[in-house]
A and B are shown apart, each in its own frame.
Chain A
Amino acid sequence: MDVSHLASPPLVAFRLACSSVIVCFVLDSGPVSAAPPSFADQVQPILARFCSSCHGANKQEGDVRIDKLDPDLVGGNDAERWHQALNLINRGDMPPADAPQPDAATLEQLVNAIQHELNRAIQARQTSHRKVLRRLTRSQYTRSLQELLQLTIDFGNALPEDAKSRTGFTNNGSVLQTTSLHLEYYQKIAREALNQAIFIEKPPVTRYRITLGTDLGKKLTKEKTAGRFTGYVSQPVEPSHLVAEVLDQQGHVKEVDPSERQGRYANVLRNLGIGMRGSHKERYQMAPQGMLLDSAVPHQEVAPGSWHGPSPNLKLLIRRDFPARGDFALRVTAARVASRTRPLTNTYRAGKPLVVLHDTPPAKTLSGGLVQPAEATQSHTRAELIEGLLHPKPTDKDANSSAQFTFTVPKEDLYQWDLICRRVRPDGSAKFTVAVSDPSRAVTTNKLHVVDGASNAPSIASLGVMALPAGQRSCTLTWSGPWALESLHLTRLPMEHAIRQKHARQLARYQQEQRDQEKREPVLQVALGNRTDDGMDSEPFDQTRRLPTPLNHFATYQFVGRLENLPVPQVDLNEQSSLANILVLAVWNGDFVKQLQRTGTRIQIRQIEFEAPYFATWPPASHQKIFIDSPQRGRPTVYAEEVITRFMSEAFRRPLHAGEATPYLNFWKAIRSDYDHFEESISEVLVAVLCSPKFLYLAEAAERDKTPIQEELELASRLSYFLWNGPPDERLKQLAQRKALRRGLSEELPRLLADPRSWNFVEAFCDQWLRLDRLQAMRVNVRKHPSFTRFVKADLARETYHFVRHALCENLNLFTLIDSDFVIVNQNLAEFYGLPDVRGTQFRVVPIAPETPRGGLLTQAAFLSGHSDGNQGHPVKRAVWLMERILGQAPPPPPPNVPALPVENPSKRNQSIAEQLATHRANISCRNCHKKLDPYGLVFEDYNGAGLLHRKPGSSPDTQVVLPDGHTVNGVGEMVQHILTEQRHAFRSSLIEHLMIYALGRDLSFVDEPAIEKIARRVAQRDDRMATVIEEIVTSPLFLQQQ
């Protein structure tokens, strides 16, 4: 595969990126006339002399042949190519440095001649190219239907994907096709959508609830017991800890007949159950008040682990009886509880004895030790005291002897137990255990074998080390074997003792963990999916919910989702496998920790309830919106007209023309008798409305017979599909009808941007401008980059959306996008990037120090990882992105049949891509382009395929580059500064140009260049702020479609 040329098709370079020659666009106002000598006569001798050897009959470098360009720029087809050529000449890129150069006068003659012709062409084409009929994109279609019907279904999901224009935009009118497949889908989707929006009667509601607690279900009869769901990677919660119930619509427990063999509720309780992710069982625990869940560890994107969900997770499992459509509610009753602290190790195996043996006196402890001679025993069992030695009684061979002692610990510390004992018989081994009751802990020797020990000679048995608090303690010594006890020694560990140091480390870790837990906040996160053979296919829905601090304060949290949008199992009643037909509703503690050793916070799940379909109101908003309240309700024909025209008007985003509804009303009259219910007959008409091109296209009437109100209404739609990616709201339409929109645009903009619907614009625009779709498609090697979880990937795209929307809504300087002294992250991303002290799942502004290698679009992992090969960075992809997307300069397209970078060649695997590119540049056919391209990508080489730094920035010579304009730049930091100083206008124009392409739904051409240039200059003169950019765009003649 040719990895070096995966970039999108090149953007038309129509801007003067580098102003070595300043060209002003002076449009002649007088009549256009070509003065002799002709354009061709002026330029062709120069071109023949300086260009044709590489771009002529014999050779076509960069696939360009200049001698065949049509010299008629006004009427011909090559004006855009002339324009590209002019830009290259203006930039000094052509002729290349190693070729003969024209003198200044020749150059000026050439440039002026081309420019003059271009200006003529621009003027001639002002009107012809402007407008383009746009079909709604998938996401616009979805938003439009969602708002029209008040449903959250992802309607466009089934439609074929929209094609991308050459600039990477999917809302390009000339590229958007409407095939017969589209039309079949439009009808099918409309029909199903209206079925979900309109209700003749309330459908039956399924409502199940399971309560969890130790032994809670133990006394239930067999019929009333919940089910037990087994299978790979799922650990069943025993039904004895569960109470499963069916609820009625009001939430009261419904008695179902457990013996029922047929129908809806047959065996229903046994088809409900709870399962846990099977691994890391220490992270969850059943308790009387419910299931305890530690912070979850996110799962990785490596099969089959990717199907297990975060660990731990608790799953409500429902077999067979659940709806597949409609809104649903999941209610979780949960509380934050005290975190589980991993216990501190309090006992250690003993090292060397801390007592010394002497013949007389028998033994001596090191300083600070306590001695308990055998005589000091408080009581003893199966032992007798003979001459100061506690002898085992030879009764039962296997029975243990024991003795109790009481002693006072002077100071909380680590102590070692040693024992002096004497062999009383020549054979056999012994084992000693000493157990302290408060705090309860014990240490044990291994079996003692003393081979050479002569009978009655004293030996030392070192039992172990214990952490003990100060105060009086009692302990029990238990032993077996033919040994008599002489004395028990408790010795404080010396300061330099190895165990003491190990303990100190543990203690520090323990205290750190406790501090850490206090700062964290548990959240509930939920997902819906279906049981597969090796786990589950699931997708999170709704927002996370924070669990507030009062511990053990149980509350019920409601999550709402739409079944059609989530991977609901397709029920197959013939299927016999126990793993089939299972709906999974998973819940976990979304306060993620990245390592299994961390416990994080702890929550307790008491109850979990599923209701579907769920109606927040009855009849639902979708139904009420169509069947409006009206005094005409009792008169079907009049009411039908009212309902249909209102719906049409909203669907078509404008008031209807006179007679426009007539065919629809006639249609209704013709079919109404085919249906039992009035609502059904109306629904059929509305299906047709939703298949009309007036709904499916952003149609704008031809200039000739347009009223001012019409123009305003068209502007309202243009505006809302730009800034909301969806239909205009009432206010916009009213402004339009009062002819107040155009003149009040600047005042209206802040409202449009602040509206949550502007998220739709930000997401769609970022996806296409910054090519976040590539992040989506990228398969990062998580074996190499283990921290790159699915949650990180999803949050990375959100980071970019939040960042851009923040700049827009806070009206920041547009260069903030290049260099910001903050990032917008949540805890998940902060941990991924290595930024400290960010807690919780919500995104917020986090200030960063200047030396932090983040801030601005260029260091966001969404871009860096999306333009990698999944392992390491990919300089060519990153270079093309930076040039095209940020600087607005199209790198030349790769020539056909270009040799591929040998990344897939095993022998070259050890080379970094930077090294391979160096090899590539050595190839004469590649050198010219890559010399200009590669520097822009090599500056990112400190960031790996996950978008993380893999070495200290600037520590490698790879990132030190010379840009085509001669500037030397080292790493991203300096590239950012370079853009802020040398390429300000390039970025400003690129941002404006990409926004304009998106806003108009068409690619721009050289004809639009003066308009873009004008906006850019005005933005610069005003304040370079983001809202100014938007304002200048929507008030520009280009957007307003004025002459």
Chain B
Amino acid sequence: MANRSWHLDRRSFLRGLGVTLTLPYLEAMGDTTPAVADASARKRLCCLYFPNGCGIPNREKDAAAHSQWSWFPLGEGSDYEFTNTLSVLADHRQEMSILGELSHPRSRELLGHIAGDSWLTGGDVSGSNYRNNISIDQVAARKLGENTRYPSLTLSVDGGVGYQSRVSTLSFDDSGKPIPAEHRHRAIFERYFSPAGGNTTRERQAQLQRGRRIVDLVLEDSRRLSRQLGTTDRRKLDEFLASLNRVEQQIQRNEKWLKTPHPHVSADHIDFEVDATRNPDTYIRSMLDIMVLGLQTDMTRVMTYMLGREDGIGFADHFPKLACGIKRGHHSISHSTEWENWSNYDRWLASHCGYFLERLKTVNDEFGPLLDNTLVLFGSACSTTHNARNYPLVLAGGKNLGVNHGSYRIYGNQIPMTNLFVSMLNAIGVTTTRYSDSTGTLPGTLFS
């Protein structure tokens, strides 16, 4: 069965080629998708991470500080009260949930900094052999990236991969290897958005062509084999051919992208030359603007952005001084009991999440505000100083994805955070029953 359909696919596919479009950048973007019809809403995933956990003064010993400066709100359920920290997200209350007591069980005994390596993976980085695994964004990208120019985008303040136990990226590939993050605004824009972008096109073209030729040859050879097999075995080989067909289709989609010019986009509102040491606010927001632009043009549907590295490494550690006038670095604050300072810095970090949500709410594609089809996860991999439990987490967006927001939900420490990942993946259309050390989906009514 596979053989015939495979050829039909290709022919019908080739008919669709040939029209090169120069398009205005807004809602019409959907039309530049050269792949098979993608009529349903585009589902997306964005994950934002901040290092060193968050301030949580002890509820009993330091009740006054707790009620003001704790990252987590007071109360529970839908009538929770913001403290100073997250009140900066008050405008988005109905589009977000605050999640309490989730963490990765295998990282709980670790120093919070190392747990950062497993935030989006739930991998086992606790033993003498570091065994990380694929991150949730890369799982999502396998599916959500089928019809976009790029499967995913991995960003961070510092770029690169850092080093094992103190990575500077949130994304890990199938074998658990870190994927280098990009961090230079202009370079990112030029590579992914400018019409002349993708200087590696010729090389990429050659690569795709090589892949396609090999698929052709293997197909020819498989047919010969198929003729020699018995009925049962032939049915088994059809599974191989069907998979080969899918590989072929992906190559064709990718080839088509190479012939599809980048859309013209206006980036006038983005400051590419911003100096992080002078203006961290704009530095981060410019990157968030680029992300919004990427979603809006459907360049990709999956992105991660790491807002700083664990343990005072990298220049994001100076942001508290530059942005909030606090006379300590972020890591140093996280070791102190300067609750007010810590809360103010946490608030500053959360304000970027708020900015991102605001942008996603105001920018539309043909299915409405981007936010309604986008899941945004914002958080860290430890709570108070070095404690790799009760991660501070905000899940926002996805009104059309069956997510019920408006509450502070406490899950209790029996639920691995990967259960949240399973639920998130299913919400964005990536059917999954297991992920890393998950034991099921997230209980309760957050996901309907």
Contacts and interface: CB of A to CB of B under 8 A. Distances in A.
A539 B113 CA distance: 23
A447 B236 CA distance: 91
Interface of A: 1, 131-133, 135, 157-158, 160, 173-174, 177-185, 187, 299, 301-304, 306-307, 530-534, 537-539, 567, 569-570, 572-575, 577, 579-581, 660, 663-664, 667, 670-671, 674, 684, 687-688, 691-694, 696-697, 699-703, 705, 790, 904
Contacts of B126: 303, 306
Interface in B204-258: 206, 210-211, 213-214, 217-218, 220-222, 224-225, 228-230, 232-233, 236-237, 239-240, 243-244, 246-247, 250
Nearest to A657: B224
In the complex, the 8 A-B pairs of residues with the closest C-beta atoms, listed nearest first:
A532-B165, A580-B163, A702-B230, A133-B233, A306-B128, A180-B246, A572-B160, A537-B130
A183 B214 CA distance: 11
11 contacts: A132-B236, A133-B229, A158-B174, A303-B127, A532-B164, A533-B114, A574-B160, A575-B161, A577-B166, A577-B313, A664-B221
B245 to A, nearest CB: 8
Contact of A569 (B160, B163, B239): B163
A302 B163 CA distance: 21
A702 B214 CA distance: 27
A302 B110 CA distance: 9
Contacts of B127: 301, 303, 306, 790
A570 B177 contact: yes
B438 to A, nearest CB: 12
Interface in B86-131: 109-111, 113-114, 126-130
A573 B158 CA distance: 12
A205 to B, nearest CB: 25
Interface string B158-187: 111111111010000011011010000000
Given A182-B243, A570-B161, 11 more contacts: A180-B247, A181-B142, A304-B110, A534-B111, A537-B128, A537-B165, A570-B178, A575-B162, A580-B163, A697-B240, A699-B233
Contact of A304 (B111, B206, B217): B111
Given A303-B126, A693-B237, A693-B240, A579 B163 contact: yes
A299 B128 contact: yes
B27 interface: no
Interface of B: 109-111, 113-114, 126-130, 142, 158-166, 168, 174-175, 177-178, 180, 206, 210-211, 213-214, 217-218, 220-222, 224-225, 228-230, 232-233, 236-237, 239-240, 243-244, 246-247, 250, 311, 313, 414, 439
A318 to B, nearest CB: 14
A184 B127 CA distance: 31
Given A534-B114, A575-B162, A663-B220, A183 B236 contact: no
Contacts of B130: 532, 537, 567
B218 A133 contact: no
A457 to B, nearest CB: 61
A299 B128 CA distance: 9
A694 B211 contact: no
A580 B165 CA distance: 10
B109 to A, nearest CB: 6
B229 A692 contact: no
A944 to B, nearest CB: 21
Contacts of A569: 163-164
Contacts of A790: 127-128
Nearest to A531: B163
B225 A575 contact: no
Given A133-B229, A533-B113, A688-B218, A173 B160 contact: no
Contacts of A183: 240, 243-244, 247
A133 B213 contact: no
B221 A538 contact: no
A789 to B, nearest CB: 10
Contacts of B161: 570, 572, 575
Contacts of B313: 577
B232 A132 contact: yes
Contacts of B175: 157-158
A645 B225 CA distance: 17
A703 B230 CA distance: 8
A570 B230 CA distance: 47
Contacts of B164: 530, 532, 537, 567, 569-570
Contacts of A660: 224
Contacts of A691: 214, 218
Contacts of A185: 174
A580 to B, nearest CB: 4
Nearest to A304: B111
Contacts of A671: 213
Nearest to A579: B163
Contact of B168 (A538, A575, A670): A575
A705 B232 CA distance: 16
A1 B419 CA distance: 14
A693 B233 contact: no
B145 to A, nearest CB: 13
B165 A533 contact: yes
A579 B311 CA distance: 13
Given A534-B114, A570-B178, A131 B163 contact: no
A693 B239 CA distance: 11
B113 A133 contact: no
A663 B163 contact: no
B163 A581 contact: yes
Contacts of B240: 135, 178, 183, 693, 696-697
Nearest to B229: A702
B125 to A, nearest CB: 9
A667 B217 contact: yes
Contacts of B229: 133, 699, 701-702
A130 to B, nearest CB: 9
Contacts of A574: 158-160
Given A570-B177, A580-B162, A133 B128 contact: no
B228 A702 contact: yes
B246 A663 contact: no
Max count, chain A CB within 10 A of own CB: residue among B111, B217, B250, B313: B217
Max count, chain A CB within 10 A of own CB: residue among B158, B229, B244: B229
Contact of B230 (A1, A131, A663, A696): A131
A539 B130 CA distance: 10
Given A530-B164, A569-B163, A688-B214, A694 B225 contact: yes
B225 A572 contact: no
Contacts of A184: 247
Contacts of A904: 414
B114 A133 contact: no
A184 B114 CA distance: 32
Contacts of B168: 572, 575
A52 B435 CA distance: 41
B109 A533 contact: no
A1 B109 CA distance: 20
B241 to A, nearest CB: 9
A694 B223 CA distance: 11
A572 to B, nearest CB: 4
Contacts of B159: 574
A700 B232 CA distance: 11
A574 B168 CA distance: 11
A533 B310 CA distance: 11
A187 B247 CA distance: 11
Max count, chain A CB within 10 A of own CB: residue among B128, B159, B166, B214: B128
A531 B230 CA distance: 54
B363 to A, nearest CB: 32
B86 to A, nearest CB: 30
Contacts of B162: 572, 575, 577, 580
Contacts of A530: 163-164
Contact of A572 (B180, B218, B228): B180
Contacts of B213: 667, 670-671, 688
A56 to B, nearest CB: 32
